[in-house]
Structure 1
């Protein structure tokens, strides 16, 4: 799930959220906003049974995917668009 919150100026806070154990192991959100660098934005377990990570982005079009342990790629069906190349957010 993706949550969006407008901030002052032209920034938007984007929170990426997955269930705590699905998929098992570490999961990072990787995309054009972090040069597709695994581990840079790793999701962290929360008390409510989820794991999340938050980034702040300026207006634009951003591509991303989740990367889980073992090289497993996942898409987020709550993105603005999901295609054969992954997920897209439009801010």
Structure 2
């Protein structure tokens, strides 16, 4: 799930997944972090989910995916669109 919030000319996008689906560590990787799995690991939240927040320019489009343990790549079903193997979001 994607949560968006407008802050000072930027869009804060929070990438949210259930706490244990899939099991193990998960990172959000995309063109906004040079596809670096260490840049935005999802962290546990008090509501039983885990999340990572990224500030992106308004009116921009970005490709991303999730990377879980065991080199398991997957997309976000709530993304704005899909572009080949990647999820897409529009700020």
What is the Cα deviation at residue 57 of structure 1?
A: 0.2
What is the Cα deviation at residue 85 of structure 1?
A: 2.0
> 5+ unaligned residues in a row in structure 2: which ranges?
none
The residue number in structure 1 matching 2:81 is 81
Distance (whole Å) between structure 2 residues aligned to residue 83 and residue 76 of structure 1: 12
Runs of 4+, deviation exceeding 6 Å: none
Matched, 1:34 2:33: yes
Matched, 1:3 2:6: no
Deviations 1:48-72 (A, max 9, x none): 1100010100031100000000000
Number of residue-to-residue matches in the alignment? 90
Matched, 1:20 2:19: yes
The residue number in structure 2 matching 1:55 is 54
Contact 1:76 1:82 in 2 (8 A): no
- Provide the secondary structure at the position in 2 that maps to 1:33: helix
> 5+ unaligned residues in a row in structure 1: which ranges?
none
The residue number in structure 1 matching 2:71 is 71
What is the Cα deviation at residue 84 of structure 1?
A: 2.8
Q: What is the TM-score normalised by the length of structure 1?
A: 0.94
Distance (whole Å) between structure 2 residues aligned to residue 34 and residue 49 of structure 1: 26
